[in-house]
Amino acid sequence: GAGVSQTPSNKVTEKGKYVELRCDPISGHTALYWYRQSLGQGPEFLIYFQGTGAADDSGLPNDRFFAVRPEGSVSTLKIQRTERGDSAVYLCASSLTSYSGELFFGEGSRLTVL
């Protein structure tokens, strides 16, 4: 399809394990974002890429979280030593420009840490 694609759609892991979540943005969109949504809350900003570089990573909660976008297209969010509090839906979004705030979101990856 032509939308933002995220895999896996669901991930269940044990506390302490390492997790990778993948995002394939809309073709041609240079801006890519990761957000996290906990139950009953709105999406919370994690990181923004413009091309290959992380232009704003101020939302990453701690150094267990890391994201890459090596070729300016697909991005991977990496979480080390997962904790139960990391359980949430991780949303990826992309946009043509970063100015308008009109983002195209994927369906999200639901992470459950047991």
Burial of 42: CB neighbours in 10 Å, binned 0-12, 13-18, 19+: exposed
- Rank residues 70 and 99 by Cβ distance to another protein and give the closer one: 99
Of residues 60-89, which lie at the interface with another protein (CB under 8 A)?
none
- Which letter does DSSP use for residue 95 in this model? E
Under rule CB under 8 A, residue 53 binds another protein: no
- Rank residues 64 and 110 by Cβ distance to another protein and give the closer one: 110
Q: What DSSP line would sit under 7-68, residue for residue?
A: E-SEEEE-TT--EEEEEE--TT--EEEEEEE-TTS--EEEEEEETTEEEE-TT--STTEEEE
Under rule CB under 8 A, residue 28 binds another protein: no
- Rank residues 14 and 53 by Cβ distance to another protein and give the closer one: 53
Which residue, 20, 22, 18, 35, is CA-closest to 81?
A: 18
Q: Which stretch binds another protein (CB under 8 A): 15-23, 65-73, 80-88, 92-100?
A: 92-100
Among 1, 28, 42, 53, binds another protein (CB under 8 A): 42
Task: Catalog residues that contact another protein under the rule CB under 8 A.
Answer: 4, 31, 33, 35, 40-45, 48, 55-56, 58-59, 91, 93, 95, 97-108
